Amino acid sequence: MIHPIVRKSLVFLLSSLAFLQAKAQQQTLRPYAPGAAEVANAYQQSNKLDTALRNIPTNNDIIPFWKKDGTAFWYKKNLPNRTWEYNYVDAATGKRKAAFDHDKLAQSIEKTTGKKQNPLKLQFTELYFGDDGNKATIKMQDKWYQLNLNDYSLTDTKDTSIYRYNAKRPLQQRRSRWQRNREARKSPDGKSEIMIRGGNLFVVDLATKVETQLSTDGNADKPYGEYAWAPDGKNIVAYKIDPKEIKKVHYILSSVPGTTRGELKSREYAQPGDDFTAYQPYVFNVASKKSTKVDADPIDFFGAPELHWRNGNSRYYSYEKVDRGHQRFRVIEVDVLTGKTKNIIDEKTKTFIYESRIYTRYLPKTNEMLYTSEQDGWQHLYLVNTLSGKQSLITKGNYVVRDIDSIDVAKRQVWFKASGINAGEDPYFIHYYRIGFDGKGLVNLTPEKGNHSLSFSPDRKYYLDTYSQVNVPPVTELRLTATTKKVTELEHGQKDIYLATGVKLPEVFVAKARDGVTDIWGVVCFPSKMDINKTYPVIENIYAGPQDSFVPKNFLPASEMQSMAELGFIVVQIDGMGTANRSKAFHDVCWKNLADAGLPDRILWMKAMAKKYPNADITRVGVYGTSAGGQNSTGALLFHPEFYKAAVSACGCHDNRIDKQWWNEQWMGYPVGPHYGEQSNITNAAKLQGDLFLIVGEADENVPPESTYRLADALIKANKDFDILSIPGMGHSDGGVYGRRRKRDFFVKHLLNAEPPNPNVSK
């Protein structure tokens, strides 16, 4: 038995020895510095490896196509060299077989169409199996055929009244705040119709053609519109509209074939701070012609909302309102007789409410609704009594409800996906669950470790679960929904075929954030022929947009990151603070702070990574990104030149005042304040110290091209050297094939101090 003090001393000595060995190893390593021939060979080998990997099937996404009765399904399985086969599965037994004889069907199609067929590349627009198992209906090139599976004869058919069910179709679509009021001109009884004339609201009796004018103060400049009937047809909800013209942005297509002049393109594009059309709600009683102004502020954000009426009651309706600035979300109920309102939900925050992640589902028969909120610090699901406004948590804990699959009103269950529940796992891994409205009976439908994708049979008796990790190939299982019992394993990928190419699969690395407590997750891609005696520059693939998280979680043997690594780099991707799918506090780092981009966390992560992997040379760090990633990569050079040395930025939103209103106000807030300019890459252009390469498509309709051009202008005025590539006719992109090649060349030149192959030299 070793004495505790002795054990502690031994641990200290061993850790000290390991540290000294690692330090000694680092001191003996030499920087990777390839010559021209070695660089040219690396480009060739990178392309070959990328092609080889992409010709190996991953089957990350098995999509079942079920028979109408839910007893069986078929799916398409990818095979090597971009071929495939069709399999048929009996759900009860789990037995799998070929869906048909591929050779016989290919011969039959050739005979029918006169076109040569590859049995392992049969293409159907649609394919449905009959219930008797002897027939199938297929669609090829806009023609329908009946297939007799006994003799493989094909006959033309007009009978296309067949069941279509793709299990990837979600059963409960997430509602969007952009979902507008559904206008219906005819009254519920079909006897009257709404008409707008001269900006005013009229009701027309369809039998007598008699018109009743309900409003008198509307005009062409401020008309009434966006109307909706009460269920009993006695009242109409309509809005007096204060229209605001959406300003335009422009670009020029420089290289239109057949012309000698550039072509000007213009489109509406709201930017942060721009005015929006406002909608003041009114209620009009058809019989009395009484007009009642609803006791509520105008809706000046998102437009006229969808109305939700109490079950069997035409006196009360509710609607959702997101205040501009994204700091308040309400569900407001209106009494149509008085115009008085009350808040069923009134959620406020000092930072932001991520409105596009709010899920709402109304249950009028029980006077309830479901909605998601981060009010307790994590995204969770709440049950709300719509009469009293009382809320109760359905899900609870330090995890994130990622989305709602469906609601079973009869069983009072929610089916949802979440991440962060399972201890000892990557907190971003998605698992699927069901739970009762009372917060009891939580069932994990996807118990295996990994990132899951799930789909149900039409009757939800069965489901397919596919799961993987970046370095663990996918597994697909058929399970029983009631018990989660596995019926069969359909597919199980193997590493060997990938490793045989020589590739190194990505590695997952975790380090602490700037707070010293929070885990930051990322992946590392190494060169397949990495020399353990050399160090390699590090390149970060960055996208710090707060709308999501971005580090891949599914099996990833082939990627642009791996392809770049083969040139002599260690390529990483990281989700820093300020991105989504963790706690509210983790996400709040981005609030009015997009220039932060989680860069302090990323730098700490790479420093920790270099301690574990001494081949990583963090004195030579590059970074690249597109769109928000373009903003982030340039910002890395401007705000952290002590760490980042080279950046490639494609179609970056370099100033949040230039970019789209809905995205930037969500994170940077409203009104537009000084912090917008203070964090702008354009404002800070004079701080540039490293090597910068800007890429922009002249026809970008997502981020206006002038965002990049204004940055270039500021850099020129500051007498800074940089490279810029403007691609004629290209939209929002990383530059396409040409831009990606130029990006690699840039890093080879500036981080490896080597010359990339010159495509202008004939071989």
- Three-state SS string over 431-461 comes to EEEEEECCCCCCEECCCCCCEEEEEECCCCC
What is the rounded average pLDDT of the residues 498-516? 97
What phi, psi does 373 have (nearest 5°)?
-155, 155
The H or E element spanning position 17 is helix 4-28
| Alpha carbon distance 383, 337 (integer Å) | 28
What phi, psi does 311 have (nearest 5°)?
-65, 120
Q: Comparing C-alpha atoms, which of 415, 296, 212 is closest to residue 307? A: 296
- Is the Cβ–Cβ distance between 649 and 633 less than 8 Å? yes
Residue 704: what pLDDT?
A: 98
What phi, psi does 674 have (nearest 5°)?
-60, -25
| Alpha carbon distance 326, 721 (integer Å) | 39
* CA dist 71 → 61, 68, 112 (Å): 21, 8, 31
- Is the Cβ–Cβ distance between 394 and 414 less than 8 Å? yes
For the chain, what is the total number of helices (H) and then of strands (E)? 12, 42
Given a cut of 60, whether residue 138 has pLDDT beyond it is yes
pLDDT range class, residue 15, cuts 50, 70, 90: very low
- Tell me the domains of the chain and their CATH numbers: 24-53+498-751 (3.40.50.1820), 65-156 (no CATH), 176-358 (2.140.10.30), 372-492 (2.120.10.30)
Residue 7: what pLDDT?
A: 46
What is the rounded average pLDDT of the residues 253-259? 96
What is the rounded average pLDDT of the residues 248-252? 97
The H or E element spanning position 464 is strand 462-469
Residue-wise pLDDT for 411-446, tens only, equals 999 999 999 999 999 999 999 999 999 999 999 999
Residues 6 or more apart whose CB falls under 8 angstroms from that of 736 comprise 727, 730
What is the rounded average pLDDT of the residues 705-719? 98
| Alpha carbon distance 524, 516 (integer Å) | 21
The H or E element spanning position 712 is helix 706-717
Angle of CA points 33, 566, 543, to nearest 5°: 105
| pLDDT > 70 fraction of the chain, expressed in percent and rounded | 93
pLDDT range class, residue 142, cuts 50, 70, 90: confident
Residue-wise pLDDT for 594-604, tens only, equals 999 999 999 99
pLDDT range class, residue 27, cuts 50, 70, 90: low
Q: How, if at all, do strands 391-393 and 380-385 pair?
A: antiparallel
* CA dist 366 → 237, 311, 386, 387, 494 (Å): 24, 8, 9, 10, 50
Residue-wise pLDDT for 650-678, tens only, equals 999 999 999 999 999 999 999 999 999 99
Residue 28: what pLDDT?
A: 86
Helix, coil or strand: residue 198: coil
pLDDT range class, residue 13, cuts 50, 70, 90: very low
Encode burial over 545-559: b for 16+ CB neighbours within 10 A, e otherwise.
Answer: bbbebbbbbbbbbbb
Q: Comparing C-alpha atoms, which of 153, 106, 149 is closest to residue 131? A: 149
Q: Whole-angstrom distance between the N-terminal and C-terminal Cα of the chain? A: 71
Q: What is the DSSP string of 63-114?
A: --EE-TTSSEEEEEEEEGGGEEEEEEEETTT--EEESS-HHHHHHHHHHHH-
Residue 22: what pLDDT?
A: 45
- Is the Cβ–Cβ distance between 344 and 390 less than 8 Å? no
| Alpha carbon distance 384, 343 (integer Å) | 12
Residue 390: what pLDDT?
A: 98
Residue-wise pLDDT for 154-185, tens only, equals 999 987 666 656 655 444 444 554 455 567 89
**More confident call, 18 vs 161:** 161
Q: How, if at all, do strands 723-727 and 691-697 pair?
A: parallel
Q: Which of 13-17, 55-59, 163-167, 551-555 has the highest mean pLDDT?
A: 551-555
pLDDT range class, residue 105, cuts 50, 70, 90: very high
What is the rounded average pLDDT of the residues 138-146? 92
**Least confidently predicted of 55-64, 195-204, 250-259:** 55-64
Residue 578: what pLDDT?
A: 98
| Alpha carbon distance 601, 281 (integer Å) | 47
Q: How, if at all, do strands 72-79 and 65-66 pair?
A: antiparallel
Predicted TM-score of the model (pTM):
0.93
**Least confidently predicted of 120-129, 383-392, 482-491:** 120-129
Q: Across all residues in the chain, what is the average pLDDT?
A: 93
Residue 11: what pLDDT?
A: 38
| Alpha carbon distance 581, 271 (integer Å) | 27
Residue 660: what pLDDT?
A: 97
Given a cut of 70, whether residue 555 has pLDDT beyond it is yes
pLDDT range class, residue 16, cuts 50, 70, 90: very low
- Is the Cβ–Cβ distance between 571 and 565 less than 8 Å? yes
Given a cut of 50, whether residue 404 has pLDDT beyond it is yes
What is the rounded average pLDDT of the residues 316-342? 97
| Alpha carbon distance 424, 372 (integer Å) | 26
| pLDDT > 90 fraction of the chain, expressed in percent and rounded | 90
